[in-house]
Amino acid sequence: MAAKNGLACLLNENPFAGINGSGKLNNWTLATDEGVQLLKPSSLSNATDNSDAFPVVMAALVSGIDKHGDLLHAAVASPGNDFRLGAHEATPIVMSTYLGDDMTKYLRKFMKGESALYTPSTTELSFGVASIAPIEVPAEDCNCTSPLAYSGDRFQFRAVGSSQNVSLVNTVLNTLTAEGFKVISDRVEAGEEVADVARDLLKTHFKCIYNGNCYGQMWPAIAHEKGIWQIECGVEALQCLSAEKNTQLFSQMGVLSPEECKAREEVLLEHYSGTVEIECRVMVDMINQHVIPSARNSGIDKWVSDLQEEVARLEQDLVEMRRVRAPNEKAKLARKLRLETMEDIRMVCDTTEALVPAQYWTLATYRELLFLDTHRT
């Protein structure tokens, strides 16, 4: 579609300084082969004639999200997403889930032993036009600040980066849900009542449900006290793929063997390092071929020497990164290079751009990039 309209599609989570990041909304739901939607209360209740069936499904999901938030982060880990998550209007690194006030109240009542059919409240939606009457819509809303938000009949995983394939994301969601179903099934077959098992799981894992503003400055501290998963960087999250609890999860569910988990971890770490290396080499070329000549032609010699020093710094960091053989250690160096060194040098280049007259600047300016409609060529 971009090509048809004479544009370029940039699959980069944060291509411009100070501009909101770019991500994907992964809409995920569950249904039987007969079309019963497990995440739609009315569909499930009608099919089972049991109002407690839906809380059982939610118990399996909530327990999986709470236990495996590290895997959810690993599934969306990338250099670009390390820039985006927790900033630029993107979801934070805290792996909580949003269920909405109506659903949360309903599950709390279920935990107290009250059984009832879930019926969300409604609100009036006005179109702002006198000739069109307002309509009643479900009050459920998708909390855009939450990484994993329930929105009526599905979940939206909002932490996926724009450059990422969603296959691993959905593999993780499917696997943690399957494990939740297995836990409930095993306990019921051992003699427990299914509603009691669901209530126990909800009470144990309810802490990962948060309906507030996940962008709030106090939320990470609150989440830490509650014990909700929040991993600081994608490199650390990727290393969770070979953690014992996760290899056991994938192995028991028949999805991946421990060896396959380790292999995927190493490949993703190498991909992380390789992406950063490519970007760093491009940055060196752009500075040498465009930024330095533009500064020299403008007569700002001090900036020329500063930029040459920064290029030497980038090249030295690349040499050090290439010397490291272990994928995890190389990825750690790559993250520091991408989020610290390259970010610092990018600020030097941006300052240079502001000083160089337009006729000497050979790269597209921010103004040209951000306002294409007023800068036709």
88: left (phi over 0), alpha (psi -120 to 50) or beta: left
In the prediction, which pLDDT does 10 show? 76
Name beta bridge partners: 138. Answer: 122
The answer to whether the beta carbons of residues 286 and 313 sit under 8 Å apart is no
For residues 246 and 277, membership in a common domain is answered with: no
Cite the DSSP H helix spans in 147-206: 167-189, 194-205
Based on the fold, state whether residues 111 and 10 are members of the same structural domain. Answer: yes
Q: The domain that contains 294 carries what CATH number?
A: 1.20.120.1560
Predicted local confidence at residue 12, as pLDDT: 83
**Which of 88, 365, 62, 369 minimizes the C-alpha distance to 208?**
62
The stretch 182-205 carries a mean pLDDT of 97
Report residue 141's pLDDT band, with 50, 70 and 90 as the boundaries.
Answer: low
Q: Residues 169, 231: one domain?
A: yes
Which has the closest alpha carbon to 165: 264, 278, 65, 88? 264
The Cα-based distances of 255 to 32, 168, 180, 214, 307 in angstroms read 20, 11, 15, 32, 50
SS3 content of the chain, % helix, strand, coil (to 5): 55, 10, 35
256 token code pair: 């991946």
Q: What is the 3-state secondary structure (H, E, C) of 296-311?
A: HHCCCHHHHHHHHHHH
Q: Taking Cα atoms as reference points, which of 84, 72, 86, 116 lies closest to residue 17?
A: 84
For 341-372, the pLDDT digits (tens) are 999 999 999 999 999 998 999 998 877 877 76
Same structural domain for residues 323 and 239? Answer: no
Query: What burial class does residue 251 get, using C-beta atoms within 10 Å of its C-beta: 0-12 exposed, 13-18 middle, 19+ buried?
Result: middle
Q: Model confidence over 310-326: pLDDT tens digits?
A: 999 999 999 999 999 99
Are 296 and 201 part of one and the same domain? no
| Pair 153, 80 in one domain | yes
Look up the domain containing 346 and give its range. 267-374
Report the mean per-residue pLDDT for the chain: 91
The total number of structural domains that make up the chain? 2
pLDDT-derived band at 88 (thresholds 50, 70, 90) equals low
Q: Are both 176 and 201 inside the same structural domain?
A: yes
In a domain, 262, yes or no: no
> Which one of 217, 237, 256 terminates a domain?
256
Predicted model pTM? 0.90
